[in-house]
Chains A and B, each alone.
Chain A
């Protein structure tokens, strides 16, 4: 069985002009990136647009990727920057706005957790401050280590840790309040 090519190898092939190698990277990471952006924005269409833009920009600026092992972190960094630009440009979502794209998303089997609880937790995450929300999503949902998160969010590791503990504490309190 052929060994799967690493991100580094695919990046190098893409830099040699092989678009299909870059498309393998897209195929590998598009689901992760899309779900990260969906959880950040709460809007499928917006998340897809940001995802498309992220892949396009990453392809156009692939030469600027210094550490080719870290393609995933670099990709998420582009996505975060695009999301932050959009957040500054677009009006903020009202705290009580209906977030149908969150509510009608897939849910875990009910024997693990009631659907209402799942939706309540999603809403709690969406209502965290953006810097706390980013840390929670990158750490718990996408498995990034702190040094990678520091690269993505352009922030020291110590700051990220304190943000993570603060976010977890806020979520715990929110869950206790909701019973």
Chain B
């Protein structure tokens, strides 16, 4: 080994990073070469001076990463999401029920759910449902009753039916026209009362108890 080879490895020699073979060679050269001995001493001193010129300091903050919460398995995750979804579904159903207030009628044969509109007056009166046929029967009954009342007041019309003359025919036609007009007015009034009492027309089946209730109402709203 010559001085040039020695100086190329001087940093490793000072740091003790040489292989045993190279270290033996360098030891042998250094013993014989005062210039290389001086170079090694100079290097050591330089390293020492540099290191002691700039001591390390502590950072003002830590660089640790925030630790996230422990991860859960897919079963726990699914359970959590299922629970949340169930709660949301129940809440939505309750909200829908509160908004629409359906009336539910259960029979042996069928189930009827009616989403009745909100009453303007208050929620105290429940929505009432009658069949169209019942209303028609109710109207017919009222018309018949009215007609009978009118008929009592006009016996001469019925009596004159047996032998009608030209003028009587004209009078009877006029009276019938008046009666028809009155009947129409009565029917309109009856419908108005039906609507005012919250009767709601629907072509659905009603239980016998409901029909009894309807009959009572029917009588109460007759003119």
Residues of A at under 8 Å CB distance from B?
Answer: 17, 19-20, 22-23, 26-27, 30-32, 34-35, 38-39, 44, 47-48, 51-52, 55-56, 59, 105-108, 112-113, 117-118, 121-122, 125, 136, 139-141, 143, 145-146, 161, 164-165, 168, 171-172, 175
Residues of B at under 8 Å CB distance from A?
Answer: 7-8, 11-12, 15, 17, 43, 46-47, 49-68, 71
The distance from the CB of A126 to the nearest CB of chain B, in whole angstroms, is: 10
CB of A105 within 8 A of CB of B57, answer yes
Most A Cβ at <10 Å: residue of B8, B17, B50: B50
CB of A19 within 8 A of CB of B53, answer no
The distance from the CB of A63 to the nearest CB of chain B, in whole angstroms, is: 16
The distance from the CB of A61 to the nearest CB of chain B, in whole angstroms, is: 14
Query: Contact partner of A30 among B15, B43, B54, B63, CB < 8 A?
Result: B63
> B51: nearest residue on chain A (CB-CB)?
A140
CB of B63 within 8 A of CB of A145, answer no
Specify which chain B residues have a CB less than 8 angstroms from the CB of A55 in the assembled complex: 63, 65
Give chain A's interface secondary structure class. helix
> A30: nearest residue on chain B (CB-CB)?
B63
CB of A35 within 8 A of CB of B68, answer no
State whether A161 and B11 are in contact (beta carbons under 8 Å apart), knowing that A108-B53, A125-B54 are contacts in the complex: yes
Give chain B's interface secondary structure class. loop
- Docked CA distance A45–B56 (Å): 16
CB of B50 within 8 A of CB of A171, answer yes
- Kindly list the 10 A-B residue pairs having the minimum CB-CB distance in the complex, ordered from nearest: A121-B53, A34-B59, A35-B56, A118-B53, A108-B52, A23-B64, A19-B67, A106-B55, A140-B50, A55-B63
The distance from the CB of A42 to the nearest CB of chain B, in whole angstroms, is: 11
Specify which chain A residues have a CB less than 8 angstroms from the CB of B58 in the assembled complex: 31
CB of A168 within 8 A of CB of B12, answer no
Specify which chain A residues have a CB less than 8 angstroms from the CB of B50 in the assembled complex: 121, 125, 136, 140-141, 171
Q: A30-B62, A59-B65, A168-B46 are in contact. List 9 more A-B contacts (CB 8 A).
A: A19-B67, A31-B59, A39-B54, A51-B59, A105-B54, A118-B52, A118-B54, A145-B17, A165-B7
State whether A139 and B11 are in contact (beta carbons under 8 Å apart), knowing that A39-B54, A121-B53 are contacts in the complex: yes
The distance from the CB of A98 to the nearest CB of chain B, in whole angstroms, is: 17
Query: Contact partner of A26 among B11, B49, B54, B64, CB < 8 A?
Result: B64
CB of B53 within 8 A of CB of A52, answer no
Q: List 22 A-B contacts (CB under 8 A).
A: A17-B71, A19-B65, A19-B68, A26-B64, A30-B59, A30-B63, A34-B59, A34-B63, A35-B56, A56-B65, A105-B57, A107-B55, A108-B55, A118-B53, A121-B49, A122-B54, A136-B50, A141-B51, A146-B12, A146-B17, A165-B11, A168-B46
